[in-house]
Structure 1
Amino acid sequence: MPTALITGASRGLGAAIARGLAPTHDLLLGGRPSSELDEIALELDGAATWEVELTDHDDLYSATEMITSLDVLVHNAGIGSLGTIEETPADEWRRVLEVNLIAAAELTRLLLPALRQARGHIVFINSGAGRRVNPGWGAYAASKFGLRALADAVRGEEPDLRVTTVFPGRIDTDMQQEIVAMEGGDYDGTRFLVPETVAAAVVNAIHTPIDAHPEEIVLRPTGRR
């Protein structure tokens, strides 16, 4: 079977994508060492954990060195950040850009030979913040606009690869609960996308016949379940 590497696979959307790809792909489940990552690997019999700190470039190099062919790379790992420009110091900008953009760029760079070998497919999980900026979301939106630029650049430079950017609206996950708490609101998950719905769109993009290139997918919650 083809091989897929999914970052941020221990919970939420990453775990849902892993479940969606499990019937058709050998899986490398990326994430920090955790019981959650081990549990999803056990659930998906045959999946392997790929334990790495994405912002540690030496660790990342070691973890990718033995991957010689890769059919699918899903960039799902990321962090949120809230604060006005006035409230956001340089260290927070560095933290957000390092995780959401630079780590994805470096992982892509290191895996390009393996992806070229398989004529593979890269999926970037972006955000609505990668298409528009709301007040208080400057650093996060900058990282997502940068991620969009990274995907567009790879698509132009690597014509033998397919590169898909997914722009989902808010998703009903643990991370979303933390964000709503930071915003000071009451959490109502029914207003947001179900992780499995976004995962299905990702899986469908990956399964798109090779004569087509699904470049961008935009998903917005309807508020209906």
Structure 2
Amino acid sequence: MAEEVDYGMITWPAQLTEAVHRDMYPLLEPSNSDLSAEGKTVLITGVSGGIGKAIAEAWAIAGAAGIVITGRKADVLDEVAAKLRTFGKSPGTTKVVVVPADITKESSVQKLWETAGAELGKIDVLVNNAGALTQALIGSLEPSEWWNDFEVNVKGVYLNTHFFLKQAPDGRGTIISVSTGTLGDIYPNFGSYIPSKLAQTKFMEFLHAEQPNIRAFSVFPGLVATEMPPKMYLDYALDDPMLTGGLSLFLSTPRAEWMRGCMVSVNWDIEEMETHKEEIIEEKLITLAFTKAKFGKGGHAWGSTMKK
């Protein structure tokens, strides 16, 4: 008899709540009036890919005043923009701005933000969705190829954050960066991807600490069937990309204030988390941990005693 496949095996290592979401549910549904984006402007990177498209669609459905979409594939961006203009209570009322850009180049990102400002004025929300995943053993690629994950996942996030802050003189706004639930894992061939996402997520924690008026969040998008995941994982890629779109809307509302500076997964049940809010905050359950050891005066409380 064939052994039953656990299609959640990739999800469990990063699962916080008992309830698990892999499909859209009412709380994160973009049409939910509590997630209304009316009057808000957003800039989303990496819209050439599946998750980026879903995020952009979520903001259009929620009635955003303006959406800037960027990526390297101009033709794909134009197709996405045409679709976005059909969403919302009154199709065509959301201004969609297309700006192809290379987020690893400072001059390109600067031009992106200059265009965004000229078209929409101040951008309220930045979603750093663009990402790179290079599969290779350490030492098997030329350094520039291996380093590309850091160029996109770290430098790209920093550059967009930098120019977001420049166009927000009051120091206010929301920045959401798409991370990964594999931060605590070691997978062969992921030696550039996971460390770059760790650096990105730690950067977001620093942003939270250094810019108190910026609402900073890191999001785990789950495992989505896009071109990015390795083919061996596609059978487990059952997460709806629109969950990330809905979560980005939720994190831009006052209800998410207590999660600022933290990591949040699309698979976690928000209402269950709210029930345990005090414990999550006190125990720092959704921030990066350096080690499981309990450092402090007297050292770690060992679970075993040394035999003499």
**Structures share a fold, TM > 0.5?**
yes
CA distance in 2, matches of 1:137, 1:13: 20
Count of matched residue positions in the alignment of Structure 1 and Structure 2: 214
Cα distance per residue 1:7-27 (max 9 Å; x no partner) = 011330111011111133210
Residue identity opposite 2:199 in structure 1: G
User: Which secondary structure state, in structure 2, belongs to the residue aligned with residue 169 of structure 1?
Assistant: coil
**Cα 1:58/1:211, change in 2 over 3 Å:** closer
2:264 equivalent in structure 1: 217
CA distance in 1, matches of 2:195, 2:215: 24
2:32 equivalent in structure 1: none
**Cα 1:186/1:139, change in 2 over 3 Å:** closer
CA RMSD of aligned residues (A): 2.2
Cα distance per residue 1:88-124 (max 9 Å; x no partner) = 4422232221111111111111221324537210001
**Cα 1:33/1:81, change in 2 over 3 Å:** closer
Matched, 1:4 2:42: yes
Q: Is the CA contact (8 Å cut-off) linking 2:45 and 2:127 kept in structure 1?
A: yes
Quick check: 153-162 or 210-219, which moved more?
A: 210-219
1:173 equivalent in structure 2: 226
Q: How does 1:77-92 map to 2 (within 5 A)?
A: 77-92=130-145
User: Which secondary structure state, in structure 2, belongs to the residue aligned with residue 117 of structure 1?
Assistant: coil
Q: Structure 1: any 5+ residue segments left out of the alignment?
A: none
Runs of 4+ in 1 over 6 A off after TM superposition: none
Q: Which has the larger radius of gyration?
A: 2
Matched, 1:38 2:78: yes
Which of 18, 21, 36 lines up with 2:56 in the alignment? 18
**TM-score normalised by the chain length of structure 1:** 0.85
Following superposition, the deviation at residue 201 of structure 1 comes to 1.9
Q: Is the CA contact (8 Å cut-off) linking 2:176 and 2:219 kept in structure 1?
A: yes
**Cα 1:94/1:186, change in 2 over 3 Å:** closer
CA distance in 1, matches of 2:224, 2:257: 31
Following superposition, the deviation at residue 133 of structure 1 comes to 2.8
Which structure has greater strand proportion? Answer: 1
**Cα 1:135/1:21, change in 2 over 3 Å:** same
Which structure has greater helix proportion? Answer: 1
The share of aligned pairs that are identical, in percent, is: 26
CA distance in 2, matches of 1:151, 1:115: 17
**TM-score normalised by the chain length of structure 2:** 0.64
**Cα 1:186/1:10, change in 2 over 3 Å:** closer
**Cα 1:27/1:211, change in 2 over 3 Å:** same
Residue identity opposite 1:17 in structure 2: I
Residue identity opposite 1:216 in structure 2: M
CA distance in 2, matches of 1:42, 1:51: 15
Matched, 1:130 2:170: no
Following superposition, the deviation at residue 191 of structure 1 comes to 4.1
Quick check: 138-147 or 104-113, which moved more?
A: 104-113
